[in-house]
Chains A and B, each alone.
Chain A
């Protein structure tokens, strides 16, 4: 029998180089998604209903002072808000899916959304809807919703840690949803109720620089933390036992990731109201494009989420003379997109 020499070292380098190539491809893909986002943003600046439906000509933007003010004070902050809200909800969705090791979770879990909605509605009936108060109240209640879910989960005597968090999150959501219902019932039907309803449907029409800048730090810090943790998120998706055996401080690191995700979610809700489905759909799509490794999925979700947010908000602005609520649009597009993804032959959640 002849001994076949193993092409071991050669084989290895070949493999590492194909790995490096796949990394280059992943980066190229991210680059083009970034280009897409910038392009969509660029077009959206000129897109709207002034002076007429469609694209504004660059000459008009240079000559018409009203157009300049419109773009600078209204469209630009709104576009940035749409991008950041999309990014935040998409990344938060991905992070929650990984931490709970469940691809069907979205940022509304853990009571965050409903609690934030309750906070906003409460502030509207108590203080008459001053923007910054609604915002602060939404963030505080959103974080409070998480804290409540967390504390309750420690007392639940059923299932593992993840299941406990989910269960108490469901209870907390129901509790705050009931609270929102009560406030709507009590609210002045002429002044307060429309405002609450509009806020619950989600929309960015009232966003100017001020609310955007107040939510910006929370979003930036949260997104940065999650971006830096992106490979580590893979470890948090493992079962407790295994993650522990790999030297991961499972509970502490999961809590850190959750806090960051909830922070960006609450900040998004505080400027845009309740906007559903982005956090479920975009991470699914990102996994289809970039695989399961969060090292690449997270940046993908970030860029796609931003693009999705801007496109949805563009549609909300131009589809009808009155605004279509953004939350309604993301839900329609999200649900349709989700169904398309799920009925495609390659099941790869």
Chain B
């Protein structure tokens, strides 16, 4: 596969949820380049999370096509997708007191046959994933003892145990304190260095500016603008996306966005 071919491509995709009558995505076209961080921004209800759901085949488009690594996503089996694409959901509830290691091991499911159990090699991979997000010292603890931020990192670890080439993150930093935010950004950067492609949604401009090379600005189920961060990160474009006057600041190498 060529390096410059997009890993994921949405081609004129329209989608509505079953039993609803309004399109959430309306003829959306989008390319996620390989080996980069692409961030989706836009107001609540713009269709960001829906877009992620279509990216791992949870739903199929009503119209248009989704391509993954040059092949139609609809032609993949679920297990195949699970080995290429991993999802870190915005939040996740589970009432049972798994240990962190047991929970991360669930990420090995796409590699196991229906009745197969994870083996020592899977444990090694799960342990490495925990180490990457810095939770390995808690491996035997219960997931219920984790703080909100640690839990988010745990979900990232489970996604890493899938050894994905495309990582989908739905507002990954929304529950994190400043230290954990920095930690996660560094962790994602190191994945990037290994060639993992990242597609994330975010409501936090400073996180996007620190991490993303590509930006997609969405509104009402459509892409307003997409392209390199440098060309889109200005007050005009962002203000138009959120429909509120915004200012962009550059300060000591950080890019900040504030209200007018």
B162 within 8 A of A: yes
How many Å lie between the Cα of A65 and that of B137 in the bound state?
65
Whether A28 is near chain B, meaning CB under 8 Å from some CB there, is no
Contact flags (1/0) for B112-139 with A, using CB distance below 8 Å?
A: 0011011010011001100000001001
CB <8 Å contact, A231 and B118: yes
A-B contact count (CB 8 A): 101
> Which of chain A's residues has its CB closest to B19's CB?
A157
A residues near B80, Cβ cutoff 8 Å: 247
Interface size on B, residues (CB 8 A): 43
B76–chain A nearest beta-carbon distance, Å: 10
Interface positions, chain B 60-110, Cβ under 8 Å from A, are 77-83, 85-87, 89, 92-99, 101-102, 106-107, 109-110
In the bound complex, how far is the Cα of B49 from the Cα of A245, in angstroms? 14
Say yes or no for B226: interface residue by CB 8 A criterion: no
A18 nearest CB neighbor, chain B only: B140
Q: Check B87 against A232 for contact (C-beta < 8 Å).
A: no
From A227, which residue of chain B is reached at the shortest CB distance?
A: B115
Task: Report if A61 contacts B (CB, 8 A).
Answer: no
Contacts of A20 in B (CB 8 A): 120
- Beyond A16-B120, A234-B106, whether A246 also contacts B96 by CB under 8 A is no
Q: Assess A249 versus B78: contact at CB under 8 Å? Given A235-B106, A241-B58, A291-B102.
A: yes
B82 touching A247, Cβ below 8 Å: yes
A246 contacts B106, C-beta separation under 8 Å: yes
Give the shortest distance, in Å, between B54 (CB) and chain A (any CB).
12
Residues of B within 8 A of A244 (CB): 56-58, 78
With beta carbons under 8 angstroms apart, the residue of A98, A102, A235 that contacts B109 is: A235
The number of chain A residues with a CB under 8 A from chain B is 33
Distance in angstroms from A244 CB to nearest chain B CB is: 5
Closest chain A CB from B162 CB (angstroms) = 7
Q: How would residues 223 to 254 of chain A score, 1 for a CB under 8 Å from any chain B CB and 0 otherwise?
A: 00000110110110111011011111100000
Shortest beta-carbon distance from A11 to chain B in Å: 8
Question: Is the C-beta of B175 less than 8 angstroms from some C-beta in chain A?
Answer: no
Q: How far does the Cβ of A113 sit from chain B's closest Cβ, in whole Å?
A: 23
Q: With A12-B124, A101-B95, A241-B53 given, is the CB distance from A232 to B114 under 8 Å?
A: yes
Question: Does the CB pair B98–A293 fall under 8 Å?
Answer: yes
Closest-by-CB residue of A relative to B81 is A247
20 pairs of residues in contact across A and B, judged by CB atoms under 8 Å? A12-B128, A16-B123, A19-B123, A102-B95, A103-B96, A237-B94, A239-B92, A239-B93, A241-B87, A241-B89, A244-B56, A244-B58, A244-B78, A245-B56, A245-B87, A247-B78, A247-B79, A247-B83, A287-B96, A348-B97
Tell me the A residues contacting B by CB distance below 8 Å.
12, 15-16, 19-20, 98, 101-103, 228-229, 231-232, 234-235, 237-239, 241-242, 244-249, 287, 291-293, 295, 348-349
